[in-house]
Structure formats: C-alpha cells, structure tokens
Amino acid sequence: MNARHFTAIFFISILFLLIATSVHPAQAQATVTQEELIEFENHLNEADQVLLQTLESKNPRDYRYDYLLDKIAARFNAAGSLVYPNYEEKEVAYMVFAGAIGYNACAAHKTIVIDSLYIDAMKRYAEGIAYYGKAKTDYTRKLANAVGNKDIEIKEGKINIDYENEENPFSLPLAGTLSAEEQQNADRIFEGMIAWTLSHETAHAFKEHKKRVLLTFYNIYMKYRNQGYSEEQLTSQISKYIKSTHSRKQEYEADYYGVSLYKKAGYDKKCITYAYYFSQVLFEAFGVNEFSEDASHPASVAREKRINKIWNQI
Ligand SMILES: [Zn+2]
C-alpha cells in the first residue's frame, strides 16, 4: 500500500448480501455463498481496472499532483478509523487523468478519479483567493469563464491540451505574482478544496454507492469483450458510468461521511465554502447542469447549510 491509498475499515458482508440479492432478484431467497461474494468483489475490482485502462488509453495519467494526493491520503488515513469505526479494511486510490472527464471527480469501486482541468482550476482559484484576500473577485469570474469554455471544448473533443506546458496546460488565467506568504496560503486553500472533493468521493466509494452501476458496466464490458467490442462502445459505457448520478439519499450520506472525514483530518471549513462559491460562479456564468448540482445534488445554498449543520454536530 502506498500513501496515496486511503485505508479504512469496511463492513463488507452485509452490503454484499444486500446488493448481491438486489442485483439478482430471482435469487433473492437463495443464500449467497462466500465464493459468490469473492467473485462479486473480483468483478468490481476488474471493472475498476477496465475503467482506468480505458481512461488512460484516451488521455494520459497526470502525475503532477501526486504529492498533494499523497499528503491528503496520509491525513485521511490518520483520521479514517475515527470516521469508519466498525468497518473492515478497504483501500481507495486517488488518481488524476488529463482532460478525460472534463471538470469532474468520480468514485469507482476502489478508485477516485479526478480530472486535470478540475484540479488545475482549483489551484488557480486558490491562488486568486490568496492574492486578493477574498473569493468574490473579478478574477474568480474570469477564471470560471475560462474553465467553463475549456470544459465545453473538452466535452466536444475540440481542445488540444498543451501538455508541454506542465505549469498551465489549459492556459488558465493567473491571478498575479504571489508573495511567499500568499503562496503558502494558496497551497493551504488548494489542499483544503481538493481534500473536500476527495472526502466526499471517498465516502461514495466506502459506502459503495455506485456498486450496482459498476457491476452493470462490467457485465456490458464482458459482453463486448466476448463479442469483440468496439472502442466506441466501451468509451460510451465509461462515459455513461461517469455521468450516472447518485440518489439524493446517497449524496446526503456522502456529505455526512465526507464532512466527518474532512473535519477529523483537520481541514478548514472555509475551503468547503470557497469550493461551493466557485461552482456557483460557474453555474451563473454558463447555466450548464454539470457545473452545478444535478438532480441528485441539492442546491448549493441548501447543501452548504446542511454541511454546516453536520460540521457542528460532529
Ligand atoms: Zn456526490
């Protein structure tokens, strides 16, 4: 296990029983054997691998932020058992892919995938907050406009990401030249915002919210593989998986465990507020669903209120 894996404790068999019986309703009365549970787990792990391989075949892995993912995972590892006390061990790995999913973060079975545009945008935004001393600035709006345009271009397959320019591959606007103190503050805010995203997605993975979707995806993949799948078919399945939404109940649960993990890892609540403000500005600028709460994600303001409430309860 390397540091980028977040390990905590996972109560596997009850969930397996519940989900295995609901996936196969005809066998709902039958007892699920240990072997079947292991096979089920193996299918899910293989589905993760297929998902990653397909993403990687389209866009390169982005290693620039591994230092940050390692740091966040280490802090989560130290806090994880406080958040998931009655669970057996489960590992979640964090990875960044360049431009593959377009301003998004997504949880598979044991892998959390973040998009390069998303993480780069948060970095610039954090620098802007540190430079101007506040989040609500013209710079934030300018950045949101640039990010929104890049996102659309990526989704329409129009963009050529400048991979040669490792510092700023999407040519996002810079806030200015930061002093050492401002840079330190920017780094802290950036880490906090990414930690918030990861804590929420980690909660989805730990609660296995996409297990049924992932299994469906795996079964379709196997069918394609046996029949000689086309790359387009597989890519369209991957994109369906990434775009598939959680129920509102699952989002509430992910927020609850996400906030718990985030707070116990010692992160600043303000970074959650900053992250919400940016998605709000993106939404206002473009009015595109993906930037805001979809049908399953409650509206930003209500969600932030609820997060505050969870924060004070923990
Ligand atoms: Zn979610």
Between the CA of 106 and the centroid of ligand 1 the distance, in Å, is 8
Residues of the chain falling short of pLDDT 50: 1, 9-30, 86-88, 290-295, 298
pLDDT at 218 (0 to 100): 76
Asked if 86 contacts 11 with a C-beta cutoff of 8 angstroms, the reply is: yes
Q: Which helix (H) or strand (E) holds 203?
A: helix 180-206
CA of 250 to the centre of ligand 1 (A): 7
Using the mean position of ligand 1's atoms as its centre, give its distance from the Cα of residue 246 in Å: 7
- CA gap 308, 16 in Å, rounded: 32
The pLDDT of residue 230: 73
Q: What's the confidence (pLDDT) of residue 189?
A: 98
> CA 126, CA 183: separation in Å to the nearest integer?
9
What is the 197 CA–ligand 1 centroid distance (Å)?
9
Give the distance (Å) from ligand 1 centre to CA of residue 165. 31
Phi-psi map region of 59: left, alpha, beta (phi>0 left; psi -120 to 50 alpha): beta
Is the pTM here over 0.85, yes or no? no
Number of domains, the chain: 1
Query: Given this model, what pLDDT does residue 38 score?
Result: 79
Of 191, 163, 171, 187, the closest CA to residue 100 belongs to 163
CA of 136 to the centre of ligand 1 (A): 25
Q: What residues are neighbours of ligand 1 (ion), with CB under 5 Å?
A: 251, 254
Distance 66 CA to ligand 1 centre (A): 22
Structure confidence at residue 147 (pLDDT): 93
Burial 248-279 (b: 16+ CB within 10 A, else e): eebbbbbbbbbbbbbbbbebbeebbebbbbbb
CA of 229 to the centre of ligand 1 (A): 30
Q: What range does the domain containing 131 cover?
A: 3-313
Distance 182 CA to ligand 1 centre (A): 31
**Three-class SS of residue 246?**
coil
Q: How far is the CA of 314 from the centre of ligand 1 (A)?
A: 20
